[in-house]
């Protein structure tokens, strides 16, 4: 086992989570795309998702999708961020499907695909309330009319996103908007859509309770199968593993110190004015981990009684006074990562990634 700042990844737990999510969704006629953006599409983790049985892959970054193709992944990949007009050639070359909301971009995708002898599949995103991307519901039919005759593209479905900007929770009522729009398109235009993509991990709650509208037949799952959590619904998913990722950092100082800095307080190195509460002398530890390595607010100490006080670019300070074990210089402290924490540590070149598979640590 390597030492130093590292993210330990249990591939078997990710495979387990993927398999459980797939089993639940398939029992409701719902396909599952494994979303790879939360860990920058690290190939070992992508392979674990696929071993768990996901029906395809999805990512928001073309850089990740291109890297997956270069690594030999031939599965269908959906681009989850609406395409940039300046990048349509890469979109049609490397992704099978993209989500879209702008007719001008869809036209450009069709032109680029036709020039390459391809037909690019698109999902038209519909805004049902979260106010991120998507056509407003009253404009969907008119938008579909504009794109169905375009060469080089094929409209395969409708999709929506919730919980990422406005924090809107998926419910039967807002997801059923997609179902009704699909029926309207079929009735008015004679087009039977193949896909109604009803969001991500936050929609799993409806599947568990058998409350997802009939007709929703795809979910795009990242956080749930990676971390066993559902941030939008503020819950751990009890039937999934929530410790597939553990961040470990070494203690480089452990001392008794006052709880309030001494002297006049100005701004810290990030331009903020810190505030402190005087609780007397406390036992504090510093670990070799800072804001340059991870999003500190996305880390949770595994050991009971530890609390994160803050961090600079290279040092994170913890209160260890109430720790259930003695913490010494040279010890390692372990942290759970939230989805925001995983996003940051997975792309940090300073955090080594190590993998466990079949009870063997891989380099």
Return the active site residues.
Answer: 37
Q: Report the C-alpha gap between 107 and 21 in whole angstroms.
A: 35
Contacts of 296 (CB under 8 A, 6+ apart): 290, 308, 310, 311, 316
With CA atoms as reference, report the closest residue to 341 among 286, 312, 287, 301. 301
With CA atoms as reference, report the closest residue to 178 among 145, 137, 117. 137
CA distances from 95 to 79, 157, 182 (A): 6, 16, 24
With CA atoms as reference, report the closest residue to 221 among 202, 240, 235. 202
Contacts of 215 (CB under 8 A, 6+ apart): 178, 179, 182, 196
Decide if 219 contacts 30 (C-beta within 8 A).
yes
Give the burial class of 56: count Cβ atoms within 10 A of its Cβ; 0-12 exposed, 13-18 middle, 19 or more buried. middle
Q: Report the C-alpha gap between 320 and 171 in whole angstroms.
A: 42
Q: Report the C-alpha gap between 80 and 60 in whole angstroms.
A: 4
What is the separation, in whole angstroms, between the first and last Cα of the chain? 9
């Amino acid at each position: 086992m390597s030492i130093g700042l590292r993210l330990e990844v249990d591939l078997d737990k990710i495979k387990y989570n993927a398999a459980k999510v797939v089993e639940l969704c398939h029992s409701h006629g719902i396909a599952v795309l494994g979303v790879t953006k939360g860990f920058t599409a690290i190939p070992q983790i992508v392979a674990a998702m696929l071993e768990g049985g996901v029906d395809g892959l999805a990512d928001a970054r073309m850089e990740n999708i291109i890297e997956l193709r270069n690594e030999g992944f031939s599965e269908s990949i959906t681009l989850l961020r609406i395409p940039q007009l300046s990048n349509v050639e890469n979109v049609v070359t490397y992704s099978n499907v993209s989500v879209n909301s702008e007719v001008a971009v869809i036209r450009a995708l069709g032109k680029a695909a036709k020039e390459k002898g391809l037909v690019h599949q698109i999902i038209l995103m519909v805004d049902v309330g979260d106010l991120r991307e998507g056509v407003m519901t009253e404009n969907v039919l008119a938008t579909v009319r504009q794109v169905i005759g375009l060469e080089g593209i094929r409209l395969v479905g409708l999709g929506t996103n919730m919980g990422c900007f406005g924090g809107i929770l998926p419910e039967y009522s807002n997801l059923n908007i997609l179902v009704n729009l699909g029926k309207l398109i079929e009735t008015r235009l004679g087009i039977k859509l193949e896909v109604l993509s009803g969001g991500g991990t936050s929609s799993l709650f409806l599947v568990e309770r058998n409350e997802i509208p009939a007709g929703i037949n795809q979910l795009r799952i990242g956080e749930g199968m990676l971390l066993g959590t559902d941030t939008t619904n503020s819950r751990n998913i009890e039937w999934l593993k929530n410790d597939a990722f553990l961040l470990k950092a070494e203690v480089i100082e452990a001392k008794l110190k006052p709880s309030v800095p001494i002297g006049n307080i100005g701004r810290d190195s990030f331009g903020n004015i810190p505030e402190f509460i005087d609780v007397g002398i406390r036992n504090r530890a510093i670990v070799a981990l800072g804001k340059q390595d991870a999003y500190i607010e996305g880390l949770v100490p595994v050991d009971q009684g530890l609390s994160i006080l803050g961090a600079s670019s290279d040092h994170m300070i913890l209160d260890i006074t109430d720790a259930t074990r003695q913490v010494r210089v040279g010890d390692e402290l372990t942290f759970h990562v939230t989805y925001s924490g995983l996003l940051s540590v997975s792309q940090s070149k300073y955090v080594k990634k190590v993998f466990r598979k079949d009870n063997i640590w891989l380099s």
